[in-house]
Structure 1
């Protein structure tokens, strides 16, 4: 009567809220929850799953680097252990509780375009290991193209750049005519705001910033964060209910994506008039990586 739950981090309130949703659904069912975290590390994912399986859990609820490539997860399923995913976009062979990252990112591009932004960038941490981040960039890129805008610059950051505002400011300074940044999560968007201040830029007058997730602290900033607001607690509840249905032998199908909202905040505004001068637009983009083949195409 135990359920294993693996998330990348409990320090991130998005995952903590999802775990709370799992606990709420399991309450009263007699199941106890065993929680593990992997710090976004694929090897740690496999080790955590192996440990949970060794403890003879009845099922797994997981968010991990790459569930479709995890050897430990494949072994768990071969033993008949039911698995329910959270946050991941649909993966063949798995049921998942998720938001449509591709469509949510398109909404960000629409907001930028409607306000007159042309030169944009997408900033991500762990881009290569996160299907969520990759699909957000794919949706953002697709809508920019649909609107006739230049391709957004893709900037993959390391931990050092995110945790050191001076380093992040140096990277932002290379973006030239960029007037709007879409960050792959709210923590990164908040870091961008601080780095912009170090550069002497004002948000949103000089640089608009939009995040993703809708963490509560974003509302409490001096300049409240514009972001895609999701419901991680609902994601946890849905993932847990799916797993309970599996344990009861019910026929389960992939459910539609959970809803998202655009929280307007105060970090999104019109670009300054001079930021759209022909000379600046002509110099765009500084460098744009090609889309990876596993991205969704718009």
Structure 2
């Protein structure tokens, strides 16, 4: 049975009001009474009901991470690292983080994200909302949050519109850097294992791949473009299909690291040496690419900075600050950089 404030006041021999003043660190209590209350609380092992206290004050110091991820039962390495970064950053700001993970459907029906967000805004348990979604978020879905002036930040996605706060990565610029790197190495037959086209980032990376080839007067070959699903196995299958082409490509740009790892496995199984016979570059910068044989170059997303800045932006907004729109640059880890780290 939990110890109550009434139990503390009774043991200390003071009124309930006096005990409350002491345990809430308020003035108007004699030093003698204060010591009695603190001593009684220690002896009884009293722990205040933080939630109840927060609701009375109208402040919970708790934010909600609402993640719409395709595979709820198996978070990808990218999402896992990003969520961990958000958790660390929010905790550093002395806020609590709660998380709910949803897929595209709820009880067999498409999720109504607009209704879900509005319910959260009307729920006094949360002071702000972090939105992370595999699927596109539209302004119409967050417009009510803007009208309610409820603090929120969209992470890893851009949503245009007045009053929206988001932080995203420069997927287009990061991809251009990767393709230009391969071109400077002398490659002209550069294939792309792209992500699913319902994913905004896959679209951005594909667009940058096409633009960069054309800017360098390299013809675009449709047979060198194969769609994957961001899983390792799809990268492996795509690589096997690419090796059937005559001639097969000399370089691969995969839209994420897991597909790049799958491509590497297929290439090695077919007797190719990487990077001597075939260059492979991925995107994300997940930990796993550091330990492949050989380590893979990757466009590294600054996940730690992404989580830290997202938490800072949200809490600034909770405290009355302006909403912001931020795009973070990526950084290409090349073979030279990887060799220096290993």
- TM-score, length-scaled by structure 1: 0.76
Which residue number corresponds to residue 276 of structure 1? none
Instruction: Compute the displacement of 1:260 (Å).
Output: 2.2
Cα distance change of structure 1 residues 98 and 75 upon mapping to structure 2, 3 Å threshold: same
Instruction: Compute the displacement of 1:111 (Å).
Output: 0.7
Does residue 1:6 correspond to 2:66, yes or no?
yes
- Specify which of 50, 58, 61 is matched with residue 127 of structure 2: 58
Does residue 1:46 correspond to 2:111, yes or no?
yes
Cα pair 1:189 1:210 within 8 Å, conserved: yes
Ranges in structure 2 where 5+ consecutive residues have no aligned partner:
1-59
Cα distance change of structure 1 residues 180 and 37 upon mapping to structure 2, 3 Å threshold: farther
Instruction: Compute the displacement of 1:25 (Å).
Output: 3.0
Instruction: Compute the displacement of 1:48 (Å).
Output: 7.1
- Specify which of 262, 266, 269 is matched with residue 332 of structure 2: 262
Cα pair 1:125 1:157 within 8 Å, conserved: yes
Instruction: Compute the displacement of 1:168 (Å).
Output: 3.7
- For the residue of structure 2 that corresponds to 1:98, the secondary structure is strand
Aligned ranges for residues 217-296 of structure 1 at < 5 Å?
A: 217-255=288-326, 257-265=327-335
Aligned-residue Cα RMSD (Å) equals: 3.0
Aligned ranges for residues 25-174 of structure 1 at < 5 Å?
A: 25-27=89-91, 29=93, 31-38=95-102, 41=104, 46=111, 54=119, 56=123, 57-64=126-133, 65-68=135-138, 71=141, 73-89=142-158, 91-93=160-162, 94-126=164-196, 128-151=197-220, 153-158=224-229, 162-163=232-233, 167-174=237-244
Where relative contact order (Cα < 8 A, 6+ residues apart) is larger, the structure is: 1
Does residue 1:200 correspond to 2:307, yes or no?
no
Query: Number of matched residues?
Result: 262
Which residue number corresponds to residue 49 of structure 2? none
Cα pair 1:83 1:243 within 8 Å, conserved: yes
Cα pair 2:153 2:166 within 8 Å, conserved: yes
Ranges in structure 1 where 5+ consecutive residues have no aligned partner:
269-298
CA distance in 2, matches of 1:166, 1:232: 26
Deviation sequence 1:110-165 (CA, Å, 0-9, x none): 11111111111221232x22111111111222111111112264321247x84267
Cα pair 1:209 1:226 within 8 Å, conserved: yes
- For the residue of structure 2 that corresponds to 1:129, the secondary structure is coil
CA distance in 2, matches of 1:165, 1:226: 15
Deviation sequence 1:83-126 (CA, Å, 0-9, x none): 21112245334322222111111111111111111111221232
Larger Rg: 2
Instruction: Compute the displacement of 1:246 (Å).
Output: 1.6
- TM-score, length-scaled by structure 2: 0.67
Cα distance change of structure 1 residues 45 and 104 upon mapping to structure 2, 3 Å threshold: farther
